[in-house]
Chains A and B, each alone.
Chain A
Amino acid sequence: MKVAVIGAGLGGLLSASILSEMGYSVEIFEKLPFIGGRFTSFKYRGYEITTGALHMIPHGSRGPLAELLRKAGAKVEIIDSNPYGTALYGGEEIDVNRRRMPLRSKVLFALLCMKNWFREVKLSELERRLDDFSAKFLRAFLGWSFSITPEQTTLTKIYPVYRSILEHGGPGVPAGGCKAVVDALVDVIRSNDCAIRKLKVSAIRKGNCGFSVYFENGDTEKFDIIISNIGHEETAKLMGIKKYVKLEPSRGIKYSISVRQPFIEHTGVLFTLNTRRISGMNQVTNADPNLGKGNFLMAHQPMLTSNVKFEISEGLKDLKELLKGYDYEILAIQSFSDGWPVNRAIAGSDSGCKTPVSGVYVVGDGAKGSDIEVDGIALGVKDTVEYIRKSL
């Protein structure tokens, strides 16, 4: 069985490594001159600045991504955060951990109410019923994890994620950052004699048996199964399908900061509660000093308006207040929206890995399972592999 994987992002690489381990003949096509999509990094002024992600795996070594990496035989060390994080609230730093997970009783209470009322409860509605700390924590958590606000989602959509945190625990940092995960997957794929080619796919057409993949350079190749890592919309366009579900992306801004004195003492997330925009920060060099020179901070904010310049100016005001008294330099400001977003689909609105055409699957962002970021991607890949296995 010949499998074509379009796009060498995390979803594509993960699918390719697992399927190649299972004995499928897999070929990966990537249009860009680098591998890893939004889950890799480039060394910039001595710091591993990511193309998107935050050098973090939401559920660390116990989550769905770690499980699939082990299954694929990819060698990645994940440093679990302890505590999961802390919350900066009114000048005080409060521990966030499994036992003292804020919101727990309140979310369950609200869920109970929801079940009784038979309706979708907007998280902003729940927020109004929470105490000030819990309400602000909810906002910061959604901003950090999904680049959304409580107004943009409902309890039923976020509840699986909440359950997953209780089940799998909090975040971890891969040693070597997200690039190390990508490199380990590439090693697995190459050791199984599967090729990763820098080639842009221009069209896919279904034939009597299998698919013809047309490339920008004029070549054509036949495959039995297509796995697309470029989202549902772009996949439909390649297939010449005019009708497809248009997903609403989430947008955010990431700041990479070098700071002379350590700002965060742990390897988890510092949720920032009394801010205009910034929802959280992590100091990734605490987990792996090789990710930067000295102390390397990453801060993230959701975009609340469509005016990027204004959003950045608000974020910078927050950083100035948060880092008051610290000697710091902003290395990079990166905004993510439209074709290179934080998420191709707002949390809870990913539209699954199946497509209207049997034999064509979408993995990666936009086809995530019910979990955060790359752990959601892992769940989507797991489903796809299962569908392919069963279809034969």
Chain B
Amino acid sequence: MIVITESCVGCATCMLVCPADAIRVEGKAEINYELCKNCKKCVLYCPLEAINFVETAG
């Protein structure tokens, strides 16, 4: 599961690169988990390393 941390400043780089259009940003990034495919592109592109991928059981 993709998790946005406190370090997010809302630069929206993740929104620009998300292939599923699953991110909205207004001051901070928010993930729409119904659309998110866990591709982790946002994790890689975040300039502040403010997005983490957390393994979830099941």
Contacts and interface: CB of A to CB of B under 8 A. Distances in A.
A113 interface: no
A115 B51 CA distance: 51
Contacts of A32: 44-45, 47
Contacts, number: 57
Given A309-B27, A339-B7, A332 B47 contact: no
A335 interface: yes
A334 B25 contact: yes
A19 B42 CA distance: 33
Interface centre among A34, A52, A332, A334 (most CB of B within 10 A): A334
Contacts of A33: 44-45
Nearest to B47: A340
A335 B10 contact: yes
B32 interface: no
A15 to B, nearest CB: 20
B11 A333 contact: no
B15 interface: yes
A295 B27 CA distance: 25
Nearest to A336: B11
Nearest to A307: B27
A319 to B, nearest CB: 13
B16 interface: yes
Contacts of A312: 26-27
Interface string B17-43: 100000001111000000000000000
B9 A340 contact: yes
A52 B11 CA distance: 8
Contacts of B7: 338-339
B12 interface: yes
Interface in A300-350: 308-309, 312, 332-340
Which bucket holds chain A's interface residue count?
20 to 34
Contact of A332 (B12, B27, B44): B12
A333 B48 contact: no
Interface in A20-64: 32-34, 37, 42, 44, 49, 51-52
Contacts of A308: 10, 27-28
Contacts of B12: 49, 332-334
Contacts of A333: 10, 12, 25-27
A156 B7 CA distance: 35
B16 A332 contact: yes
A373 to B, nearest CB: 16
A336 B28 CA distance: 11
Contacts of A309: 26-27
Contacts of B44: 32-33
Given A42-B16, A49-B16, A332-B16, A339 B26 contact: no
Given A332-B25, A334-B25, A339-B48, A44 B11 contact: no
Can you list the 5 inter-chain pairs with the closest CB atoms, starting with the nearest?
Answer: A335-B10, A308-B27, A42-B16, A334-B12, A44-B16
Given A33-B44, A312-B27, A335-B9, 13 more contacts: A42-B13, A42-B17, A51-B11, A51-B16, A308-B10, A332-B12, A333-B27, A334-B25, A335-B10, A337-B9, A339-B47, A339-B48, A340-B47
Interface of A: 32-34, 37, 42, 44, 49, 51-52, 308-309, 312, 332-340
Interface of B: 7, 9-13, 15-17, 25-28, 44-45, 47-48
7 contacts: A44-B16, A49-B16, A312-B27, A332-B25, A334-B10, A336-B9, A338-B48
